[in-house]
Amino acid sequence: MKRRGLLAGVVGSAALALGLVSCLAPWRERPVRLAIVDWPAYEYFYLASRKGLDREQGFSLQVDQFGSLQDQRRAFSRGDVDAIATTLPEAIAICREVPARCPVIVLVLDDSNGADQLIADAPLRSPADLKGKRVGLERSVLGEFMLLSAMRPHGLGLADVQLRYDSPKALVAQLKRGALDAVVTYVPHSDALLADPRWRVLFSSSEIPGEVVDVLAVSPELQRSNQPLVAALVRSWWASRQLAQQEPQQSTALMAQRQGVTSEQFLLSQRLIRYPDQAQQAELLAPSGPVQRTLLQLQAQMRQANRLPQGVPLPQIAPELVR
């Protein structure tokens, strides 16, 4: 009887354990798909995946890179990916295009401090000189926001320039061959232009601090159904940042190689990007904090530019997931 009771207890415990595993299994079996573009800060997610930091957190991270902000945004809007590393203007654009997929912001990744730029032919000395000129940019809210931020103080709007839309690499190539007078771009695509005296920076994100912010956002479905998984994704970011500090040379080399730049170029780009630490997240993502205020400011600017209809929701913020 005792053995029978012991065996029953063992079987019962095993069944309970299997039940718990089955509850966790759905998010352990399928990789979390994260959409990124060619932006230096996003490479830390690649580093996390390459070094197995995701698996240490109990999940598998699949980093999907897209050639443009528009393609990345569409992939998230369609539901092809679970999460997106993006800017606040692009997050609002997703809400505009597919309100049901309006993303939930769970982490502030970085603040562009000069890494996003408006670059023009050297004879053009001010954004005021762009009137009537051919300006290239991605078909993205961020590109238009940067251009408007540069021109508005000079009394110019989007209608005062000839807009040309293309991918980041194609825009740089067109500027080089004289098909464009200026481009809105960012590192690493701007690296070759910055090193050449034929072009100059007319405006950069350093002039609008706190407004070109990159965030990690997840689908509303994932946030509702599996907060532990979202928290694990957030922890993988911090683990990657910590690894880069502990093993700087190896980590930099891996990220630079994937971006197609030298380690020196990658480190130079890092000087133009600020990374808030873990202790700052609660303040940044507070209900009336900097991210919420910037979202409201962007909403007003986009409505003024007829880029955002009334009634479009703003991205939600879930600061409780950063802990």
Instruction: Tell me which of 145, 176, 207 is where a domain ends.
Output: 207
Distance CA 191, CA 176 (A): 13
Conformational region of residue 312, where left means phi above 0, alpha means psi within -120 to 50, and beta covers everything else: beta
The answer to whether residues 215 and 105 belong to one domain is yes
Q: Does 125 reside within a domain?
A: yes
Average pLDDT for residues 248-274, to the nearest whole number? 96
pLDDT per residue over 108-161, tens digit each? 999 999 999 999 999 999 999 999 999 999 999 999 999 999 999 999 999 999
Instruction: Tell me which of 178, 207, 236 is where a domain ends.
Output: 207
Q: Does 19 have pLDDT greater than 80?
A: no
H or E element: which one contains 152?
none
The answer to whether residues 220 and 247 belong to one domain is yes
The answer to whether residues 190 and 140 belong to one domain is yes
Distance CA 216, CA 44 (A): 12
The answer to whether residues 102 and 42 belong to one domain is yes
306 pLDDT band, cuts 50/70/90, is: confident
The per-residue pLDDT of the chain, averaged, comes to 90
CB 317 within 8 Å of CB 290: no
**Residue 318 domain boundaries:** 28-111+211-322
The answer to whether residues 164 and 178 belong to one domain is yes
Q: Does 9 reside within a domain?
A: no
Distance CA 183, CA 194 (A): 12
Q: What is the pLDDT of residue 9?
A: 42
The answer to whether residues 200 and 102 belong to one domain is no
Q: Read off the CATH number of the domain in which 168 is found.
A: 3.40.190.10
Say which amino acid occupies 213. Answer: V
179 pLDDT band, cuts 50/70/90, is: very high
Instruction: Tell me which of 176, 207, 238 is where a domain ends.
Output: 207
Q: Does 19 reside within a domain?
A: no
Least confident of 7-11, 130-134, 200-204, 294-298: 7-11
Which residue, among 31, 15, 28, 86, has the nearest Cα to 295 in the 3D structure?
Answer: 86
pLDDT per residue over 47-70, tens digit each? 999 999 999 999 999 999 999 999
What total of structural domains would you count in the chain?
2
Q: Does 315 reside within a domain?
A: yes
Pairing between strand 162-165 and 213-218? unpaired
pLDDT per residue over 193-213, tens digit each? 998 999 999 999 999 998 999
